[in-house]
Amino acid sequence: MRGKLGVELRTPEDAADAAVLVRLSGVLDEDNQLAEATSKLYEALVVVDCAGVRRINSCGVRDWVDWVGEMESRGNRLVLVACSSHIVDQVNMVHNFCGQGKIRSVQAPYYCRPCDHEATVLIALAEVPAPADMRPTCARCGGAMALDHIPEQYFAFLQDGRSVLTDAATERLVAAAVPETAERIRALDGGGRSPSEPTRPVTPTPTSDDVEAAPEGVTRAVASGEMQPSAPDSGGGGQVVSPVLTVVLVAAMVVVISLMLFLVFEA
Ligand SMILES: [Zn+2]
């Protein structure tokens, strides 16, 4: 078996202007076929689904940067979607990691300390004005989860203001190439709307505990969209009491009332 990086290429059947999907999974190291698998792409809009990239080593980074340069020299435009945290780390550290390419969405790992719950949230960057302030609601306890990184560092790549895909026409082509992402965002958003249309500020999509299983995890999140988005600027207003807390409070009241009745009757 050659290579630890899975490279799945999906070219559109017709429509010359449609996007090509390159879906990556596994480990990006010196033993990759990224360049070979995509050597026939010229002047294409190439959507690179990075959801499944689990690790990158320094040789992988070098190959990636070379690959981006070669792709762009052949007139291709790159859009990265569902970037795993490993890709986000490189985007932040390596100058020119994306070349002239744009990033449409990233995964972000969140953690709830009180109940030790982890969740990966897919963030559509064009729709979330301040991802660093995002506090998704924990599916387990209803509390606010915190990013499992330093937010200003994790989202540092946003500061240059040119990494995010904002062009509506390109966005429509990208959404068509990754329909499940569009479907998921629509589902969370109450249905019907295209992700390119203005939407509510936050559309987090948590997966379950297994953060590593990113491609499947991201898809699974479509079915289990039980975690509700929380507005980053909610200053304590409109807080929802979690079911667990309610049960505990009711149980405590029952105990107190029983104790009082006991004391009354004893006296
Ligand atoms: Zn929790």
Q: Could you read off the pLDDT of 184-232 as tens digits, one per residue?
A: 544 544 433 333 333 333 444 454 443 433 333 343 333 333 333 444 4
Q: Which positions ≥6 away from 197 have C-beta within 8 Å? A: none
**% of the chain with per-residue pLDDT over 90:** 56
pLDDT tens digits, one per residue of 7-33: 988 888 766 678 999 999 999 999 999
pLDDT at 252: 79
Residue 120 has pLDDT above 50, yes or no: yes
Residue 132, pLDDT > 80, answer yes
pLDDT in tens, 149-179: 999 999 999 998 788 999 999 999 998 888 7
- How far away, in angstroms, is 145 Cα from ligand 1 center? 7
Enumerate residues with CB within 5 Å of ligand 1 (an ion).
Answer: 112, 115, 117, 138, 140-141, 143
Compute, in angstroms, the gap from residue 208 CA to the centroid of ligand 1.
13
pLDDT at 176: 86
Distance 212 CA to ligand 1 centre (A): 20
Q: What is the CA radius of gyration of the chain?
A: 22
- Domains (ranges, CATH) in the chain? 5-235 (3.30.750.24)
Task: Give the distance (Å) from ligand 1 centre to CA of residue 127.
Answer: 25
Position 184 scores a pLDDT of 53
CA 208: distance to chain centroid? 13
Which secondary structure element, helix H or strand E, spans residue 228, and what is its range? none
CA of 115 to the centre of ligand 1 (A): 4
State the distance from the centre of ligand 1 to the C-alpha of 138, rounded, in angstroms.
Answer: 5
pLDDT confidence of residue 94: 94
Q: Which helix (H) or strand (E) holds 53?
A: strand 45-56
222 CA → ligand 1 middle, Å: 20
For residue 111, pLDDT beyond 90:
yes
What is the model's pLDDT at position 18? 86
Confidence at residue 259, expressed as pLDDT on a 0 to 100 scale = 77
User: Ligand 1: distance of its center to the CA of 111 in Å?
Assistant: 8
Q: How far apart are CA 110 and CA 108, in angstroms?
A: 6
Distance CA 108, CA 102 (A): 17
pLDDT band at 86 (very low <50, low <70, confident <90, very high): very high
Task: Give 66's DSSP letter.
Answer: H
pTM above 0.85, yes or no: no
